[in-house]
Structure 1
Amino acid sequence: MDAGLRQQLLAKSAWSEQELAQKIEEKQEKFAGLLAEDAAIELLAREQGLEVKKEKSTPQFTPLASVEAGTTANVRARVLHVFALKRFEKNGRKGKVCNVSIADDSGPATLVLWGRDCAAADSLERNDAIEITEGLVKNKNPLEIHSTLLTQVKRVAAESKTAAVAEIKDLQEGTEADFFARLLELSEEKEFDREKNGVKTKGKMASALAADDSGQVRLVLWDENAELARRARPGDAVKIESGAVKKGRDGSLEVHLGWRSRAVLNPRAHGLREREELWKAKYAEKKIAEAAEGDVVLLYATLAEVSGCRIVRKCRSCGVSVNVHEQKCSCGSEELRDLLVLEAKLSDPSGSARAVFFGREAMHVLGVNKVTIDPQTIAELKAEQLSGKPIKLIAQAKQGNVSGEKEFVAKHVL
């Protein structure tokens, strides 16, 4: 920071050096220590009505080993490891943080991203080259560079360093692996209670089925990684980084994504086959009349009509249906969830059949993100728009409980 701005601030405010030092300290405390002295002076100057002119210049980059604690620094580095996002609550305020292990030729460091800056990690992959400008050097040993209001992190073109990626068929129990895959199935995100050292917290979990040309594997997504179940759709490409390969209850391998792991949605240069090819390789494409009871098939059909839409309430603990006016299940659990159910009629050249869509698959068909009015009203408003619309889905054929006729339960709308 230009020393002249400090003198202008002292003259404008009539503060003493001691008072200015106190103001700087208060400003830094307000930002949880994530504000360098020069940035604090700049904010104070703006508050006093001073015009802060910042000349645009080419930043000078410093090797990681040469940066000094308590200063801001510009550095270039490689991404070694992106850890899962963490959410926290402190002094009644909620926040989030994401740690990124980085290194250059002079040594390693940890980039600590706070709040909105965590979004910068979403597009980063292992071995990416990045530039960090105006990062606050918080600690020297071990070296930590924290994001502040002025920090920018961007991926830059550099000599490619390809990280080793595995194929699903080569995954081995007890290892951590990086691999590309497409999502075949996604479960809904679930919450659960856990206790550690006498402290009770809420955890989240979801699962997914992922595949590449060599095979498929179940992904078990924990806590913030479980949000993938809400953000992704079947067919999306993912890159798993540092997935922990474990043996599941049925003896098959699973890949667990905890705090050390992450899933990069729609990564660059994944080289996977197109999703359409994947569907056809995984599921038999059949006409409505050809699907036998129990078959999970790929259907290309038309929405002949939308017949009904409603909310059902389910118990998260035991899975039974609960009256929508009740707040407690007969099993005693108060952990309930509301599920949207859409009923429709599908047709193709071979015939027609009833189909049922649940949860977000129902919302996907209706083209809504949330339900804020009566579901049947939504269906009636959308009926004309949806009638005759082509639809592609993975569905299981079954015999209707009431009609006894063939119907389909949609697993995924593609």
Structure 2
Amino acid sequence: FTKKDGNEGKVLSTIAADDTGSTRLVFWDDKADEVDGIEPGEVIGVSRAYTRPNRDGSDIEVHVGKSSVIKRNLKDKIDAVETITPFRGTSSEPIGMKNIAELKVGQNDVDIEGKIATIYEVRTFPRKDGGEGKVQNIEIADNSSMIRVTFWGDDIDEIAEAKEGDVIRILHGYVKEGFKGGVEFQVGNKAEITLNPKGTKLKQLDLSKITDNASSSSTGGSSEPLGKTNIADLSIDMRDVDIEGKVVTAYDVKTFTRKEGGDGRLRNVIIADQTSKIRVTFWGDDVDTVADIKEGDVIRILHGYVKEGFKGGLEYQVGRKGEIILNPKDSDLKQLDLSDVSFETAPTKASRVLIGEIDETHEGKNVEVCGIIVDMGQNRVFYDACPTCSKKVETVDGGYNCKSCGKVAESEPRMFYKITIDDGSGSIKVTLFGSVGEKLLGMSAEKAKELVAKSGKEDEPVRASPEEIRGRYIAIHGRVKKFQEALEISSNGYELADPVQEIKRLKEVIQKEMK
């Protein structure tokens, strides 16, 4: 196939099994050449591979990339049986027909029926194999609620003639959490689709009387309102939560092209209460509601939800259920002195990504990667820092000079070094500062400087480290930054990982995503 960069790519897949189960192995480029001519029954070993969902999301596969290692014609005896099917988690009995309001994340083999409220445009996307994929969303409702339904590939052709107001029945689908929270119904490869089924009672349904399930909790059903909450107490995934704040900054309205076609509008506003500040996002008609808002105004918003912002931190979203009140008469915030408010943005939990998928869209965002430390970036693991601002100092006439603070009587060592992490999908450099670097190396910056002074060798701290750094399996989190045109991670913490437990965790995560 032809890659995005115009070069030729290769892919080869096969089914492999041991005595516990089987899965599809996908070999890419040079790794496909390494297994060319492989025969049924041959025993192979693969290390430093990675897992990901298959095309329609119904199963998981093991992908063998450029960093993977393949061993062929092993002598091990594998008691695999042909009847074993690929790992799909525990099987369950068909759930049958459910009201939309009863749907919960994780339900499999479930049937629904609803009246079509909205049909979005078909979207295309590049698949990993170089081909083109298709996806289409619709929104349907029954007497209990409304939900977004996602169709993939050939299933889109089955609803090509569908129109708003039609009734659709879908059998053997599954429920997962939607992109913006709530629940979403997925039409997988087992599904059966019927338009305007005979005997349906939904043709006369009045859609204006139906509430939207997209804003319900991720476990299905409606969540209890959280009521008014201080900004500092907000956390990611809070739903149906009320806030009130004084406007610090009101940004201009932005327009954008929707994925399903047409123009959209959004506006961001920064508000603060006595505890902290947060960015608030208004969409569509709500932009008109805040058209005249200005700095110093007080705004009260009911029934919104909290998500991770584009560059980390928290962001408050005014969804379709949101209610907006400008300058409420009973507010205590009109006299709030913003200079007394702590404007630190709350950090958020980084999302786990494959290194090979990190690109410019991740720059400035918090991520977590898990892989093997394959290299140390340099021998020296610390620098001489200004004790006031921690910036690097220069030696001048037997003393020290800081560009920010001027002459410094004494410097202090500060840990700073880079490692390279590889997870099988790619590799990336990670910078470790201060206590994070000290923890991994197993010594303080002062101890590292002392070892260098005694031995005269810059790499002595690495040699003397109580643990071998290279080869350790680690889950590391931090912010993606660009350094000399290359993307790197500036780490703010890590945990040592168990490869076996990590594989189990990945399977569980992928299974949840598939449902």
TM-score, normalising length from structure 2?
0.24
Which structure has more helix as a fraction of its residues? 1
Select the structure that is richer in strand: 1
